[in-house]
Every structure is written in C-alpha cells, then in structure tokens.
Structure 1
Amino acid sequence: MRVAVTGATGLVGHHVVAAALGGGHEVVAVTRPGRHLPQRLLALGEVGQERASLTDPVSLARALEGIDAVVHCAAVYSYHPAATEQLADVNVRGTRAVLEAAAAAGVTRAVVTSSAVTRGSSLQPLPRDERHHLGTEPAPEYYASKVRQEQAALDVSESTGLEVVLALPTVVLGGPYDRLGPSNAIVLRYLLDPTRSTFPGGCNVVDARDVGAGHVVLLERGEPGERYLLGGEDVSWRTLHGLVADLAGVGQPALELPAGAAWLAAGAAEAWARLTSSAPLSTREEASTVGRYYWYASDRARTIGYAARPAREAVAASLAWLAIGPDLPRFVRESLRLAPAVRAARPLEPRALPDPVDAGTGQGARPGPDAGAEGRDPGSARPLTPRRRPPRPAPPRRRRSPG
C-alpha cells in the first residue's frame, strides 16, 4: 500500500513512518513547503516526500496523487492561549482540507490522529472508553479543537465515501522530537522541581513507538467510522513521578499538593516566560485539568492487534531523549543517575572516532564517513592506531644516609 503521512517529522508521525515501512508499505511524507526531511527520518528507510500546505487544496491534491491511504498526524498540540486560532486552522480546518483532497485524489482510506481527551475524564480513578464523551469538566481549547476535528473527519467521510478511522492516543512519551511537546514536558517538569511535589489525579501514558504501530494496525484492520483509544498504562501522578524519580536517580515525590497549587505554579511559569520571551513549561489552562483522572481502556484496539509497553518503559524512553536534548539544563543533567533501562531505551548511533594523531607529523588518518564503532575505516583493512603513551619516568633513587 502506498501511504502518505502528514506530520511525518513530528513525534507520532516519525513512528508511524517507521511502523509503516516495517509493515512493508511504501511511505510518502507530506511536509510543509520548504521543509526537508530530517536525517533521523531518512535513516528509517526509503521515504518519499511531497510538500503541501494545509490551506492550499491544489498542493494537497498534487501531493496525494497515486496514494492509496493517508495517515493524518499533522496537528497543533499546545495549551498556550495564543494558539487558539492556530488550533482551529490546523486541527479542524486543516483536517477537513486533507481529507477532502484525499477523497478527490482517489484515496480510499484514512487514519486521523485525534486524542484520548475527547473521551473526557473522571473525578474517580476509573478508566473510560470510546463510548464516553467530553463532558462539562475543564476543557482547554486544545481539547475542544480535537472534538471538532473528529466531527469534521466523520463529516467528510459521510459526504465523500472516504473510509476514516480515528486514532485516539493518550499521553505520548518518547522521542525523537524536534520540539518539546506537552507530554514529554510532564517528565521534564518533575526533573526541574526542587520540591519533588506531586498532585492528585492521573493520566494514561504510552510509548510513542506503540502509538506509531497502533496507527498502522488501524490502517490495516480498523473499522471505518470507529474511534480507537491507543493507550498504555493508567497511573496516578504520584506513581508517574515515582517512576521518573526511580529511573532518573532523583528524589521520590514527598508532598502531594492540592490541584490549585499546580494552577498557581503554572501562572508563575507563564509570568517568567513573558519576562524571558520564552515558551512556558506549563500554562494555567493545562493546569486546570490537574486533580482529574485521564484513564482510558484500549480494549477495542487490542482486539485487532494493538499492544503497548508498560508505563515504566514509556517513561524511560522519555528520559532517554530528554537527557540528551536542549531542554534539560546542564546542572540538572549532571545530577541525574540514569537507570540502565533509560540507556537501553535509545539505540546507540555509531559515529567516527576522532582522528588519531601521528607522533611524528601531528597528523592522522581520517576515518571514512561510515566508520563504525569498532574504529575501522571501511576503505582500509588497517585498524586505526591510537597514539602511543610516553614511557613512565623511572622512580628516583634513594640516597644512602651517611655513616
């Protein structure tokens, strides 16, 4: 199947591309005009590219020519008050434009990435499923945009005959990513909190790799017109923060603050962001959801082949990328004592060794661009020779005392 993936350079989109290639599909990444595919995406395999704007039906139609199915991951994921109009443009109107262009181009099937938050939350630790709805609880504009996105997708399906399946991921953790999103920021906030505080309520966390694979399961076997929750494990905030502490080697959560304290802390974060002209790590709109349980059951998706890792592995994946990213200050990074599970969550990438220096000339043989971790130049059978250590000086002789 020839599959177009919008938002392929994002966290979820990256893993959808990886899973689709692994499933034997041909993948075309649809990106913004002027955007080049990052090396991390090209390293997955042969990935085609088409450029289109969500506001330009002509470019969308051209990008989707000859495509069998679309996985629409492009979205704005933000709790910032200034993002309200962008949420409507991308998440709602953009989704409608992509699906209408897909139907016009002869595409027969589409998977649309929505969010589990459209199924609402509970005051009690009870999981919700696809039959539930977002009620009268606090709902940031991001939540509302996702509800409208789902309805727009189903409307296009009804009017055009395009088969649409809705994917509803929970809190997606891991990497790689080019920009810190609100989900991985949950882990980062605990690392930066000197008080090691936690809060009432909880969420469902899932590894990005499982969400990517889940989209391909829905692409191949999902029922048109249905929603499928793609979640991992339900955890309280205390349990989640405890996992972060254990895997990062920092202090365990000591104090459970009331939900209102999260709102006050977010207000302070917003004020600091205004002073420093930076993005806040949390907002009061996001903090208004603290104290509730965003717990979900993924039984419907599991019946057609979806599977997810435990929460501990999802948190380890998040830490593996945060530990090498620019969002974690150096003094915090150096204080971490990462567990082996964190180091194992991110595959090692072979890099060329530094040039060995010749003792006589001060110059050395430069390894080729594909030199592996074993330190050999693939263009030569000769191993790279390390610089010799100078001989140790002889110990001083003892003087005999006179007489």
Structure 2
Amino acid sequence: MKKIFVTGITGLLGANVVIKLLKDDYFVIALVRKKNGYLGEENEHLRLIEGDLLSDFSSHLKEVDCVIHIAAETRQNLLSYDDYKKINYEASIQLFSQAVSSGVRKFLFVSTANTLGFGSMKEPGNESMPQQYPFTQSFYARTKLETENYLLQNNKTTEVTILNPTFMIGPFDYKPSSGKIIFWVWKKKFVFYPKGGKNFVHVEDAANGIINAMEKGKNGEKYLLANENLTYKQFFKKVNEITGQSPVLIPIPGFGLVLLGWVGDFLRVLKIKSGMSSVNMKALRIENFYSNRKSMNELDVQYKPIEKAIQDAVDFFENR
C-alpha cells in the first residue's frame, strides 16, 4: 500500500483529496495543526501528525511515495508580500527539500490558476500563458508563482508536477472557504453581482485530477483543473435555480468596485487589514476564464456539470 503525505487536509480541497485517497486504498500521512481540527472520519489508513508547515517531516517522508502539498496562506486581507511568502514560498521549498532528501518519488504542488494567464470565453487561458494583471500584483498569486518557478528548476531528483485549480465548489467546505460565494445569493431578496466572471470547478474533480497526477502527471508540467467559464450573473442564476429562489439581481457598477478598491488601499496604508483592494476589485471585473483541455487529455479528468457542484455544496451546508 503506497503512502502519501498530504498537507492542507482541513480545507475544502484537502478534505476531498483525503477522502478520495482513502477510497482508492492509499495510506495517508496528513499534517494538521491540531488533531481536533480535522473534522473528517477516522480511518485505520489515515495517520494525523501535528505540526506547522515549517516543522521537519523527514522521519515521516522516508516512507512516502508522493507528497501532495495543498496548504497555503490564502487570506486576501494580509498587508505585505512577506505575510504570504513565509508559508507559500519558504515553507513549500523547505518541505520540497525534505522530500528530495528523503527519496520521495514525486512532489505535487497545488498552486492556483491565477499564476497563468486568463482569457476570454472564446479564447480561454491555458498552461502556456504567462500571469497577467491584476494577479501580477496579488501577493498570494505572486508567491505561488515564485514557488512554481523554484520547483520546476529543481525537479531532477524528485519529480514535480504543478496543479492549478480554478474556483472550487462542493462538499466538505467546513469553514466555509470558496463556498461563501453561495451565501452571497442563497436566501437573499436582493443580490448584487460584479460584471466579471471566473472558471468554476467541482472540488471532487479537482481532487481526482490531483490523484491522477500522481501517476499520469508529467515531470515539469502544469495542469489547469478547470471546468465551466461563467459570469457571476450566470453562476448566481444557477444557484437560484437549484435552491428554488428568485431574488432581484442587481449589477454593481464598475466605478463602484473601483471606489471600494481605493477605500481598501487607503485602509491598508493605515495598516488595517481589509479584503478590499484595487487588485481584488479589479479581479471581480475581468473575465477570468480558463481551458481544461490539457487535464482532460493527459490526466483523464472527467468534469461534472457545475450544477452538480452547487447542489453538493448546498446539500452539505444544509445537513451540517
């Protein structure tokens, strides 16, 4: 039975990856800050180890075939590049170095689609396109890209494959994280939406893509885990159809988002944490669209309709 080391298992993607690994008869060694923070089911093939990302895991990695590194600093309100770099770059490189020294065969780094260039509905972004503004100014996306570049320059001993998921929706979003977008519209009478859009993917499909990449992912390659390109209005309409609602949808004027971005920038100058910034508000006004062709062809990922992801997320939230 192959042993897999996984980080980030208390998050949406990590929780689904662990469920799938255990179902596929892998033995999982998973990092958690505190064992009581893991809300999934216990399993004889799941070993939880306590620590933080800057700990030394060499003793655990010596028995591991593959590392799946999902954990990251994703909060959008931190004030400096260094706030993200410590976890997203420095801790990732340290874990990779330990994996190499321990003889791990493969290192899967879960990044973000926003290290790659986005496109339009007709010509979506792909793995060969360079990062674009506003994500070139995003501390989170920049640290992820910096880590990708290091790993791909040092993949001679331990193989490296990069996974770039888009916006994930689905079950086991305990916090919730990206599932918050459903609460923007669910049980509301009025819904304000930005005029941009993004690519949405079922988190189970993203998890399948990661697990398939352990054997099918090529050394030195990046793979977008992506599915449906939708405007925010289109996505909210799908949520309404699934939940049986009919709120009034009201577009947010572009200048309104620009103004909110300026306010957020001013708060940040005053060292006040805010999710608002010119960069984040610009991200809501663009068509942040991507192609899944490469992951379908090379990782054999079969993507489910986004309606299934929304339904699964709603069911999870209702039954918690």
Aligned position for 1:42:
42
Aligned position for 1:394:
none
SS at match of 2:82: helix
- Counterpart Cα distance in 2 of 1:82 and 1:191: 31
Aligned position for 2:127:
130
Across the two proteins, how many residue pairs are aligned to each other? Answer: 312
Following superposition, the deviation at residue 192 of structure 1 comes to 7.2
Query: Superposed, which structure 2 residues align to 1:157-168 within 5 Å?
Result: 157-158=155-156, 161-168=157-164
Query: Contact 2:26–2:45 (CA<8 Å) still a contact in 1?
Result: no
Following superposition, the deviation at residue 35 of structure 1 comes to 3.4
Query: Contact 1:18–1:212 (CA<8 Å) still a contact in 2?
Result: no
Task: Write out per-residue CA displacement over residues 320-356 of structure 1, whole angstroms, 9 at most, x where no aligned residue.
Answer: 334456xxxxxxxxxxxxxxxxxxxxxxxxxxxxxxx
Following superposition, the deviation at residue 267 of structure 1 comes to 7.6
Are residues 156 and 50 of structure 1, via their aligned partners in 2, closer, same or farther at CA, if it must alter by over 3 Å?
A: farther
Runs of 4+ with >6 A deviation: 266-272
Aligned position for 1:156:
154
- Counterpart Cα distance in 1 of 2:27 and 2:170: 25
Q: TM-score, normalization: structure 2?
A: 0.87
Query: Superposed, which structure 2 residues align to 1:265-276 within 5 Å?
Result: none
Query: Contact 1:14–1:41 (CA<8 Å) still a contact in 2?
Result: no
Are residues 286 and 186 of structure 1, via their aligned partners in 2, closer, same or farther at CA, if it must alter by over 3 Å?
A: farther
- Counterpart Cα distance in 1 of 2:241 and 2:53: 42
Query: Contact 2:32–2:38 (CA<8 Å) still a contact in 1?
Result: no
Query: Contact 1:203–1:236 (CA<8 Å) still a contact in 2?
Result: yes
- Counterpart Cα distance in 2 of 1:25 and 1:235: 35
Percent identity over the alignment? 20
Query: Contact 2:134–2:282 (CA<8 Å) still a contact in 1?
Result: no
Following superposition, the deviation at residue 149 of structure 1 comes to 1.9
Question: Is the aligned partner of 1:300 residue 2:294?
Answer: yes
Are residues 180 and 107 of structure 1, via their aligned partners in 2, closer, same or farther at CA, if it must alter by over 3 Å?
A: same
Q: Which amino acid aligns with 2:233?
A: R
Residue in structure 2 matching 1:241, options 236, 239, 242: 236
SS at match of 1:255: strand
Are residues 39 and 55 of structure 1, via their aligned partners in 2, closer, same or farther at CA, if it must alter by over 3 Å?
A: closer
Query: Contact 1:28–1:49 (CA<8 Å) still a contact in 2?
Result: yes
Are residues 137 and 271 of structure 1, via their aligned partners in 2, closer, same or farther at CA, if it must alter by over 3 Å?
A: closer
Q: TM-score, normalization: structure 1?
A: 0.70
SS at match of 2:291: coil
Residue in structure 2 matching 1:283, options 276, 279, 283: 276
Residue in structure 2 matching 1:105, options 102, 116, 130: 102
The structure having more radius of gyration, on CA atoms, is 1
Query: Contact 1:207–1:317 (CA<8 Å) still a contact in 2?
Result: no
Task: Write out per-residue CA displacement over residues 105-149 of structure 1, whole angstroms, 9 at most, x where no aligned residue.
Answer: 111111110011111334665311101111244542212122112
- Counterpart Cα distance in 2 of 1:236 and 1:322: 23
Query: Contact 2:188–2:247 (CA<8 Å) still a contact in 1?
Result: no
SS at match of 2:171: coil
SS at match of 2:153: helix
Query: Contact 1:52–1:63 (CA<8 Å) still a contact in 2?
Result: no
Following superposition, the deviation at residue 102 of structure 1 comes to 0.5
Stretches of structure 2 that go unaligned for 5 or more consecutive residues are none
Deviates more, 1:169-178 or 1:81-90: 81-90
Larger RCO (CA within 8 A; separation ≥ 6) = 2
SS at match of 2:128: coil
Task: Write out per-residue CA displacement over residues 19-56 of structure 1, whole angstroms, 9 at most, x where no aligned residue.
Answer: 22222222111223x4346241426x621123343223
Aligned position for 2:74:
77
Aligned position for 1:115:
112
Aligned position for 2:166:
170
Question: Is the aligned partner of 1:256 residue 2:254?
Answer: no
